[in-house]
Amino acid sequence: MQSPVHMPRVPTWVSDFRAFIVRGSVVDLAVGIIIGAAFTGVVSSLVKDIFNPIIGLLIGGVDFSNVFVALDGKRYPSVDAAKAVGAATLNIGLFLNAIIQFVIVAFVVFWLVKALSRIKLADNAPPPTAAQEVLLTEIRDLLRARPEPAAIAAPRP
């Protein structure tokens, strides 16, 4: 006869972790991160492919992605050419692209939060007061406003 196989005891943190992962807020956060990553790609393309060429055209045909300073003192036709030979560069144009992307994302998040706040305020409006409550409140207020009746004298025997 074979002895029963004993499984090792599962640590309590494993079940705690499982409970944490399946909570709705964690799933919502994961969905938000995925959508945020996709949104970042769209904004990145918007800045790189739409805004920067227009801004570059307006200021004299400057391509921001190739605005850089080679730290070795030599001149290179592009950032890629400088990196190909191993030159260290300060990529000013790429930094400007990142700033423009940040401003766009911050602007969109601002309007999103503003819209969600309006929706949330509308949802938190108190429900209308029932007609009976209004009537009872009016009666209470009228009773409070009445003058105190004079003390009624007790009849004499």
Condensed to tens digits (0 to 9), the pLDDT of residues 132-141 reads: 888 888 889 8
Retrieve residue 74's tokens: 């030599």
Rounded Cα distance, 96 and 48, in Å: 11
Rounded Cα distance, 152 and 139, in Å: 24
Residue 153's pLDDT band (cuts 50, 70, 90): low
Residue 89 has pLDDT above 80, yes or no: yes
Q: Which CATH architecture has domain 18-126?
A: Orthogonal Bundle (1.10)
Rounded Cα distance, 141 and 118, in Å: 35
Condensed to tens digits (0 to 9), the pLDDT of residues 111-133 reads: 888 888 888 766 666 777 788 88
pLDDT, position 152: 57
Indicate the range of 8-12, 67-71, 150-154 predicted with least confidence.
150-154
pLDDT, position 120: 74
